[in-house]
Amino acid sequence: MKKYDVAVIGAGPGGMTAALYGARANLKVAMIDRGVYGGQMNNTAEVENYPGFPSIMGPELGEKMYQSTTKQGVDFVYGDVQGIEVSGQDRIVKMENEDDNILAKAVIIATGSDNRKLGIPGEEEYSGKGVSYCAVCDGAFFKDEDVIVVGGGDSAVSEGLYLANVTDNVNVVHRRDQLRAEKILQDRAFKNPKMNFTWDSEVTEIVGDENKMTGVKVHNKKTGEDKVVDAAGAFIYIGNIPNSKPFQDLGITDKDGWVITNDKMETSASGIYAIGDVRQKELRQIITAVGDGGIAGQNAFEYIETLKAAAVTE
């Protein structure tokens, strides 16, 4: 089994920062991800609220963070983590193949969250055939076409604005008559002639011709009216669910699966920290994931120093 001081699970902005802090404290750090480093930043068009970069594309910011991390000697390990086993002072990060398991003194969970699905007929069938959860990945396929965006939060509005640059018309279908998104995004969206809004409405089905989607069925909750809105694409941004299933047996999550920590990013399991979007927290953004990462990296270092000091006095 490969041995590290710290294993960081997830290479989004939180995980990359935690790994950077650990490595700069001279710890041997593995940063594990089942996908491309960068996390949700890979699904983000323009980031305007990360200081130092007045405007930067999400994947580019991810690339820059990765360079900062690997420059400090962090090992990037590709793999899907299945769980964490606690054995005395050892923490074993369990991988799909037992031979790939990683032994560490401290583990930092930075697995973020996944897109919530609508769970309606046609969603799965037309996923990749019009239905998308990533405007920056798929927007260009809908040049000069009409698309639907579902949701009313920061993601729906910011990615809707991105789509308005690429497509002909963006129809935001929201279940209430008010957006949840921050004011600056709302103002921009209301001013943009390519952005239209369908209020108090739920998308009940994605319809198509089997090869690709052609529209969505929409139910107006106030009037009771049902109609089909033609669209070549449907971008779904209705929030997230925590990627915490592998850690549920540790008893560190709340009833919805968000990991509970204190201000030091410690969970109730000693030597196991959690940071970023997977945490139970108020504001899920790049800057807060990065802040959590710095705190956890530093506290993991102090925890390992305590273990060493205890071993010397034994």
- List of residues contacting ligand FAD (CB under 6 A): 9-15, 32-35, 39-41, 43-44, 47, 49, 80-81, 110-113, 155, 158-159, 243, 246, 276-277, 284-287, 289
The partner in contact with residue 34, picked from ligand NAP, ligand FAD, none with C-beta cut-offs of 5 to 8 angstroms by kind, is ligand FAD
227 belongs to the binding site for ligand NAP (CB under 6 A): no
Active-site residue flag, 114: no
Contact, 134 vs 217, CB < 8 A? no
Site track 61-100 with ligand NAP (rule: CB under 6 A), x = hit: ----------------------------------------
292 binds ligand NAP (CB under 6 A): no
CA 35 to chain centre: 12
**Is 209 a catalytic site residue?**
no
Answer whether 195's CB lies under 8 Å from 156's CB. Answer: no
Identify which range of 83-91, 174-182, 222-230, 251-259 contacts ligand NAP by CB under 6 A.
Answer: 174-182
Query: Is residue 134 flagged as an active site residue?
Result: yes
- Closer residue to ligand NAP, CB minimum distance, 18 or 286: 286
Residue type, 255: K
Q: How many CA atoms lie within 13 A of 223 on its CB side?
A: 11
Six-digit token string for 249: 């047996």
**Given candidates 158, 198, 201, 253, which one binds ligand NAP under the rule CB under 6 A?**
158
Q: Give φ, ψ of 120 to 5 degrees.
A: -115, 160
Give the distance, in angstroms, between the CA of residue 85 and the centroid of all CA atoms in the same chain.
24
In the set 75, 80, 100, 134, the catalytic residue is 134
Among ligand FAD, ligand NAP, none, the one that 62 touches (CB under a kind-dependent 5 to 8 A) is: none
Region at 62 (left for phi over 0; alpha for psi -120 to 50; beta for the rest): alpha
Which one among 49, 67, 97, 165 touches ligand NAP, defined by CB under 6 A?
Answer: 49
Q: Does 188 bind ligand NAP (CB under 6 A)?
A: no
239 binds ligand NAP (CB under 6 A): yes
- Which listed residue (90, 114, 137, 230) is catalytic? 137
Contact indicator for 271, 304 with CB cutoff of 8 Å? no
> For the range 40-44, what are the long-range contacts, defined as Cβ-Cβ under 8 Å and sequence gap of 24 or more?
40/12, 40/112, 40/113, 40/277, 41/12, 41/13, 41/65, 41/286, 42/134, 42/136, 42/137, 43/133, 43/134, 43/135, 43/136, 43/137, 44/136, 44/158, 44/159
Closest approach of ligand NAP to the CB of residue 155, in Å:
3
Would you tell me how many other CB atoms lie within 10 Å of the CB of residue 314?
5
**Residues with catalytic roles:** 134, 137-138
Binding region for ligand NAP (CB under 6 A): 49, 118, 150-156, 158, 175-176, 180, 237-240, 283-285
